[in-house]
Amino acid sequence: MTVLSTSLPRVKRSSLANALVITRREIKDNFRDWRIMAPIFILTLIFPALMNFTAQIAINWVTKYDAVIVGERMIPFLLMIVGFFPISFSLVIALETFAGEKERNSIEPLLSMPVTDLELYAGKMLAALFVPLTASYFGIAVYLVGLYFSIGWTPDFWLLTQMLLLTTAKGLVMVSGAVVVSSQTTSVRAANLLASFIIVPMTLLLQAEAILLFWGNYGVIWLIILALLVVDLILVRMGVRIFNREEILSNEMDTLNPSTIWRDFKGCFLRPPQQALKQDAPLPRLNPLNIWRNDIPYLMKIYRLPLAVVLGFWVVAIAAGTLTAPLYPLPPGMLDLNDISMGAFKDVDRFSVLPGLGAGGIFMHNVRALIVSVMLGVFSFGSLALIIFMLPMLLVGYFAGAVNLMGYNAWLFLAAFVLPHGIFEVPAAVISITFTLRIGAALVSPPKGLDVGQGFLWTLANFSKIFLFLVIPLLLAAAFVEAEITPLIVHWVYAY
Amino acid sequence: MIEAKGLTKKFGDFTAVNRIDLSVAEGEVLALLGPNGAGKTTTVRMLGSILRPTAGYARIAGLDTVTQAAEIRRIIGLLTEFPGLYTRMKGLEYLDFFGELQGLPKSIRQERAEMLLRQFELWDARHKRLGEYSKGMKQKLTLVRAMLHDPAVLFLDEPTSNMDPQSAKLVRDAILSLRQEKRTIVICTHNLPEAELLADRIAIIRQGEIIVEGSPAALKTRLLGPPMMELRLVETLNGQLEGLDDLIEITSRGEDWLRYVTPFPQRINPQLLQLMARQNVPVFTLNEVSRSLEEVYLKIVEGEAV
């Protein structure tokens, strides 16, 4: 059959040009909405002037009490606030443009146009960012011009760069976060409720920034900018993945169905991973032997990449710990390995942060730590789980480095203190964190052929399987060795 | 022009469309009939390259709906179930936006928009905000949007819903003229007389499957039996007519009328009229008793017939 073309001529355009057609329409629409424009206008012109006035009053007042530093620190803080308030509207606009279009059924005509999902996404993102960011930069300019003419204050180039970057990165976080939130809902109301997942962290971040700015530690702001850019990347990646015709038109229900979720989870847990989501595949009975023989080797094989990432971080953590040791050496006499008695192990639980050195206590502590890491990992796309995993490894590296500086053999230290139970405990932690990382990653990049929900359930079921049938046995062995054998080895190595 | 084989769409466990086979020739109008949730909209979305089929395939003008989606979206026009307009935009501006997304040059966009807005009696409202349009005007504007880029294939989901009778007629006339222009059209509708009027063929969908398919006349014959004829006489019929019972099987009768069923009306009706003439019985009318598509539809969707 021949391809039929209509008689009308067409203009060939780039992807960016297509996206900008959408952006232009949305921006024009924003300008026509007084509910958006009126507050933005106020925040752009009136609020910076008010902040200006506040800064002058504050400086005059604190100068009277020789607390000039408070005034000096307040000016950058108010600069950040002036920049932030208008961009907070990017969240409202983004929710309206993504969830609102779905709710008003105006998205489907757009989806029937010859534009790609990415062009649609980019067009809407740019539109949601444009007005608030422009207002924000303009507000900053008004504030700075005001300050220049009132008290002659001009910002340091790097401080201004930081504030502009911070404002832009925060706007992008809110907009890209709004896309993710909107994808899970069909109404603006529901999206607004879910938006607290964006507003609450942003509020906390603002408070942290306020502390840093009053403290005057502007260097840390760079780290915050870096972290925000990483979050931007993750959220944009997630948004690109989620914002597609299939997901938009398939998720037409806001309600969660616990029985379906449970059934899918059970299916993923009981079936071999290759057939986990095949509803028509038989649901076998729980067979630990099959799990050990088939599922675990298969899962370990397909989780090679996250496993490599975790092992890489493990090496980095140990190395970083070791390198930190010379910077923060242990006080002389604090650690005398030649004077270790068995009683020293028994007294460990006097420090409330450490578990008692009974096998049960150690086991429960380790299980708790891994469960907390999986919970935090889900909300942080796996990153917090990695950080929690790295902390003890940093300590191991640090102590190895520290004992080396004190003249002991670091390898012997590791072999006596860590190796006996570490043989079980480190693989358990590495495997657990590997599977946690994949749960977090599934939210950003679901396994091929699965949507976000299916990917989450599949990776969660894989984690549960591996946790119950591999990690827990390893942790039990590790706890027993750590409580009963490691002290004997340490005592044997160092006491004689 | 449209070809689908084993077209299936699942949302999780729910099968919205189950192994649908479709073939629509160039210039043909197909009506998809079915109750709410039968899978009509999902079928149209798959044919329009908006949703990917879970199984099976569809081709429009030889283009695959999955791998050549962008090309397909250039040659199809989609009238969605809900107008979904941008209420702060103006009529002309709205069309210009979609025309631009379709890649039409500005002069063509303006020319086409003016022509269609005039055709659908919306030209005077071109500078009004869409929020001020009536329901019927909104529906007409969405049809104009679907036709703006002069598509070869049109998918019309409930094209005359929300319209007053005058506007609905305007739209039906437009569809009939598109049919004359050899456009291929798929209409999803609940409006059975409209389907009968506009469509060459009707496919009835139930629970994601096409249950029956054929021309309105063929469907009626297949599901309601052969056509029923009604003969009306000028005067009351006194006594029995000779040879009448040999020619037709009378199903009911009155003083000056009778009804009969025949699978061959082309042959039987002239013979009956000749019989009447021979016996000097003046005939007032001889008509087919109209049977509505609704009867067929209800029989199918209620599961009485397949």
Q: What is the pLDDT of residues B115-164, one digit of tens each?
A: 999 988 899 999 999 999 988 888 889 989 999 999 999 999 888 877 77
Q: Give residue A490's pLDDT.
A: 83
Number of domains in chain A: 2
Among candidates B84, B98, B104 on the partner chain, residue whose Cβ is nearest the Cβ of A10: B104
Confidence of residue A342 (pLDDT cuts 50, 70, 90): low
- Establish if B75 touches chain A: CB-CB under 8 angstroms: yes
Note whether residue A5 is domain-resident: no
Q: pLDDT tens for residues A89-121?
A: 888 888 888 888 888 888 889 999 999 989 999
Best residue in B9, B42, B100, B128 for a mutation probing chain A (most A CBs within 10 Å): B100
The full DSSP string for B41-67 is HHHHHHHTTSS--SEEEEEETTEETTT
Q: Give residue A443's pLDDT.
A: 74
Pair (A281, A396) in one structural domain: yes
Pair (A78, A182) in one structural domain: yes
Q: ipTM above 0.90? A: no
Q: Which domain holds residue A441?
A: 258-495
Q: Give residue B222's pLDDT.
A: 73
Q: Give residue A166's pLDDT.
A: 92
Pair (A30, A125) in one structural domain: yes
Nearest CA in chain A to B71: A114
Residue A24 clears pLDDT 90, i.e. is over it: yes
- Establish if A29 touches chain B: CB-CB under 8 angstroms: yes
Pair (A201, A278) in one structural domain: no
Q: Give residue A2's pLDDT.
A: 37
Residue B35 clears pLDDT 90, i.e. is over it: no
Average pLDDT for chain A:
84
Residue that finishes a domain, picked among A224, A250, A276: A250
Q: Give residue A251's pLDDT.
A: 61
Residue that finishes a domain, picked among A229, A250, A271: A250
Strand partners, B212: B204
Residue that finishes a domain, picked among A250, A275, A307: A250
Q: pLDDT tens for residues A213-238?
A: 888 778 888 888 988 898 888 888 88
Q: pLDDT tens for residues A366-413?
A: 999 999 999 888 877 788 888 888 888 999 999 999 988 888 888 988
Note whether residue A3 is domain-resident: no
Q: Give residue B58's pLDDT.
A: 92
Inter-chain CB proximity B102 and A108 less than 8 Å = no
Integer Cα distance of B20 and B40 in angstroms: 11
In this prediction, what percent of chain A has a pLDDT beyond 90? 26
Average pLDDT over residues A144-151: 87
Map out the domains of chain B as residue ranges. 2-221, 228-288
Residue A356 clears pLDDT 60, i.e. is over it: no
Integer Cα distance of B192 and B202 in angstroms: 10
Q: Give residue A496's pLDDT.
A: 57
CATH classification code of B2-221: 3.40.50.300
Note whether residue A32 is domain-resident: yes
Q: Give residue A481's pLDDT.
A: 92
Q: Give residue A352's pLDDT.
A: 45
Confidence of residue B303 (pLDDT cuts 50, 70, 90): low
Pair (A23, A113) in one structural domain: yes
Q: pLDDT tens for residues B235-286?
A: 887 767 778 888 888 888 888 888 898 888 889 999 989 988 888 888 899 9
Nearest Cα to A306, choosing from A383, A238, A228, A419? A383
Among candidates A10, A29, A114 on the partner chain, residue whose Cβ is nearest the Cβ of B88: A29
Contacting residues for B181 by C-beta, under 8 A, at least 6 apart: none
Three-state DSSP at B111 gives helix
Confidence of residue A353 (pLDDT cuts 50, 70, 90): very low
Pair (A206, A323) in one structural domain: no
Pair (A428, A395) in one structural domain: yes
Backbone dihedral angles phi then psi of residue B149, each to the nearest 5 degrees:
-95, 20
- First-to-last C-alpha distance (Å) of chain A: 90
